[in-house]
A and B are shown apart, each in its own frame.
Chain A
Amino acid sequence: MAEIQIKNVAKRFGSYQALHDINLTIADQEFMVLLGASGCGKSTLLRIIAGLETQTEGEVWIGGRRIDHLPPRERGIAMVFQNYAVFPHLTVFENIGFGLRMQKLPNDEVKRRVERTAELMHIEQLLGRYSGELSGGQRQRVAVARALAMEPDVILMDEPLSNLDALLRLEMRAELKGVLAESNTTAIYVTHDQVEAMSLADRISVMHEGRIVQAATPVEVYRNPAERFVAGFIGNPPMNFLPAASADGGKWQVAGEIYDGPAAANGVEFAIRPEDIAPADTGLPAKVRLVEPLGAHLLVTCDVDGTMFRAILESDLQVKPGDMLKLAPQTDRIRWFDSSTSLAVA
């Protein structure tokens, strides 16, 4: 059992507040992704859990044991680093076995575990090599194998795929997901790549300016962003936003059209994902600015009520810049955000 609890964790570097009052519980064997732009504090949070950084305030618990005062080696964790940190002076075998040797396990046990994890990561033929003789992808596999060989309760990964080329990243992503699912460990994975986050995570914690703005399943984060920031960050292209003017009793006027919205009296913004829009006889009046064929779809950038608005439309649709379209949003996919608090309102 390795449930991770982060309680009121804050971190200051001098006068800079890197993390504000973080509270997060990660269930045993859950795959949690910390997602955010660079500088949002996601790596700092991971390093606090690892013990490589000390929090200014708050507590970290793993498996019902408070560990934030312990050195990294007593926390029951293993880590995969962004630059792999595969020791250059040791062979692949000794790299994978490094943690086991530190635990003073008998030689045959080290050998058994190293060979098993090497096989799992398909690097059994590289055991005698040094890291200088490996490709980036192979080094990455060694770094993951070294972590898995520890049979840790918790595995921490700091942008582990960001130094690989696009094709390799895709391949490793799928493999990592499979291997970790079988290993029964709790995983925390830091990335700035939302596609990676979506495809790997059981739950995503979206971070922004040192805070967790939403922690939910990938579908929930995508469909029901808790904040305008999440809506604008997740999705490629992200959600469209349009100003809305109040028309009586939960009705709002958006670019001249009336839609059912929240009853709140405050100002709200209308939001819709580009793929939840279709051309129709009535709808938002849009002037086409740019048409980008993406193969399966067309990405159409338009001007709606003076605001940039993107729609993903059927690829057989005949449109060209300058055309006027009526774009009808799928009404159950419309989301509303409070203009003053930026929070989602129903």
Chain B
Amino acid sequence: MNARLLPYILILPVTLFLCLFFLYPFLLVAKQAFNNGSGFTLENFQEVVGYWKFPISLKNTLLLAAAVVPVQLALALLMATMVNKMQKGRDLILYVWTIPLGISDLAAGIIWLAIFEQSGFLNSMMSGLGMIDRPMNFLSYQHPGIVFLAIALAEIWRATAIMLVILVAGIGLIPKEYYEAAEVFGASPWKRFWRITLPLLRPSLQTALVLRVILAFEIFAVVAALGGTLFPVLMGETYAYQFDLLNSGAAAAMALIILAISIGFTLIILRALRVPKGAQI
């Protein structure tokens, strides 16, 4: 076997797989979005963007990402730092913390619904403590703030661990000597975190943030379970176009808009956390 050809031959199956099941459907979606049966058109985009729910769902999606991702980042950093300092039981704690990852997003939404709904745990607890006389309907149009909070909490609970595992691996790659040198040269624990851990963690932060931000723009099931139609988001609208309104051209256009937003934010994150050449570990 020719050694120069071998790598290409080895990646051929996966390339074919991706072309067949990713690139091809993607092209079909793109074709659907830009085609009305008689040729190229932007009608689908004009339709979805012009619809009154579009600005609301765009705003909701962005707000949710803006509220959830920073909290998750901070939590994941805190948890990763704690796990890294542990001498014993580190693996056990990691497993426990990553359990929510194994639960589907719809199931996670239902778990939090069981907490917040009218006959849920939160109402039982509050009435048990005498804080309320009768059960409250938290997840109603009268409490948009609580709906938002419940969705954000469920998302934080569900998806922080994906950042955590990436950051734990990243922190593990930073040589101990850098911390010792920083300590000797006068950096307090807080300064060591800001001046050593964070900058040297940039490659892992990139990966974790890109992954998490993309997932945040695709939020759907948790919102469907907790907010229903009270809290429209982009992915929910896409679903509605496809399955309720049977308008697959519009659904395809929505999908492409979400893709464009994801790509835009990915580029921003990659650029902001860029590590200059020669400055890698």
Contact between A85 and B181, CB atoms less than 8 A apart:
yes
Contact between A89 and B185, CB atoms less than 8 A apart:
no
Interface size on A, residues (CB 8 A): 27
Contact between A88 and B184, CB atoms less than 8 A apart:
no
One digit per residue, 1 when the CB lies within 8 angstroms of any chain B CB and 0 when it does not, for chain A 244-261 equals: 000000000000000000
Query: Does A71 sit at the interface, judged by CB under 8 A?
Result: yes
* Minimal beta-carbon separation of A103 from chain B (angstroms): 6
Contact between B185 and A150, CB atoms less than 8 A apart:
yes
Number of A-B residue pairs, CB cutoff 8 Å, is: 69
Contact between A89 and B186, CB atoms less than 8 A apart:
no
Which chain A residues border B191 with CB–CB below 8 Å?
A: 102
Q: Which of A61-69, A126-134, A299-307 contacts B (4 or more CB under 8 A)?
A: A126-134
Which chain A residues border B278 with CB–CB below 8 Å?
A: 129-133
Query: Does B27 sit at the interface, judged by CB under 8 A?
Result: no
Contact between B187 and A73, CB atoms less than 8 A apart:
yes
* Minimal beta-carbon separation of B236 from chain A (angstroms): 41
Give complex CA distance A83, B280 in Å: 16
Contact between A132 and B182, CB atoms less than 8 A apart:
no
Query: Does B180 sit at the interface, judged by CB under 8 A?
Result: yes
Contact between A85 and B279, CB atoms less than 8 A apart:
no
Which chain A residues border B175 with CB–CB below 8 Å?
A: 83, 85
Which chain B residues border A83 with CB–CB below 8 Å?
A: 175, 177
Contact between B184 and A50, CB atoms less than 8 A apart:
yes
* Minimal beta-carbon separation of A72 from chain B (angstroms): 5
| Complex partner residue of B186 from A50, A102, A129, A132, CB under 8 angstroms | A102
Query: Does A78 sit at the interface, judged by CB under 8 A?
Result: yes
One digit per residue, 1 when the CB lies within 8 angstroms of any chain B CB and 0 when it does not, for chain A 117-136 equals: 00000000000011111000
Query: Does A270 sit at the interface, judged by CB under 8 A?
Result: no
Query: Does B188 sit at the interface, judged by CB under 8 A?
Result: yes
Given A71-B183, A73-B183, A81-B177, A88–B280 Cβ distance below 8 Å? yes
Give complex CA distance A78, B175 in Å: 19
Query: Does A284 sit at the interface, judged by CB under 8 A?
Result: no
One digit per residue, 1 when the CB lies within 8 angstroms of any chain B CB and 0 when it does not, for chain A 126-157 equals: 00011111000000000000100010000000
Query: Does A77 sit at the interface, judged by CB under 8 A?
Result: yes
Give complex CA distance A131, B281 in Å: 9
* Minimal beta-carbon separation of B134 from chain A (angstroms): 57
Give complex CA distance A99, B181 in Å: 10
Give complex CA distance A98, B196 in Å: 11
Query: Does A268 sit at the interface, judged by CB under 8 A?
Result: no
Given A89-B275, A130-B278, A73–B196 Cβ distance below 8 Å? no
Query: Does B85 sit at the interface, judged by CB under 8 A?
Result: no
Query: Does B200 sit at the interface, judged by CB under 8 A?
Result: yes
Give complex CA distance A78, B281 in Å: 23
Contact between B180 and A130, CB atoms less than 8 A apart:
no
Which chain B residues border A102 with CB–CB below 8 Å?
A: 185-187, 191
Give complex CA distance A98, B194 in Å: 13
| Complex partner residue of B177 from A77, A85, A130, A132, CB under 8 angstroms | A85
Which chain B residues border A98 with CB–CB below 8 Å?
A: 182, 185, 187
Query: Does A229 sit at the interface, judged by CB under 8 A?
Result: no
Question: Nearest chain-A residue to B198 (Cβ)?
Answer: A89
For chain B, residues 113 to 168, give those with C-beta under 8 angstroms from any C-beta of chain A: none
Query: Does A1 sit at the interface, judged by CB under 8 A?
Result: no
Which chain A residues border B281 with CB–CB below 8 Å?
A: 88
Contact between B199 and A77, CB atoms less than 8 A apart:
no
* Minimal beta-carbon separation of B209 from chain A (angstroms): 18
Contact between B183 and A52, CB atoms less than 8 A apart:
yes
For chain A, residues 82 to 125, give those with C-beta under 8 angstroms from any C-beta of chain B: 83, 85, 87-90, 98-99, 102-103
Which chain A residues border B37 with CB–CB below 8 Å?
A: none
Query: Does A32 sit at the interface, judged by CB under 8 A?
Result: no
Contact between B186 and A103, CB atoms less than 8 A apart:
yes
Given A89-B199, A89-B200, A73–B186 Cβ distance below 8 Å? yes
Q: Can you name 28 A-B pairs with beta carbons within 8 Å?
A: A51-B183, A52-B180, A52-B183, A71-B183, A72-B184, A73-B183, A73-B185, A73-B187, A73-B188, A79-B180, A79-B184, A85-B180, A88-B200, A89-B200, A89-B275, A90-B279, A99-B185, A99-B186, A102-B185, A102-B186, A102-B187, A130-B276, A131-B278, A131-B279, A132-B278, A132-B280, A133-B278, A150-B185
Closest 10 CB pairs of A and B: A102-B186, A99-B185, A132-B278, A85-B181, A130-B278, A133-B278, A85-B177, A73-B186, A89-B199, A130-B279
A87-B181, A89-B200, A98-B182 given; 5 more Cβ-contact pairs under 8 Å: A52-B184, A71-B183, A85-B178, A85-B181, A132-B277
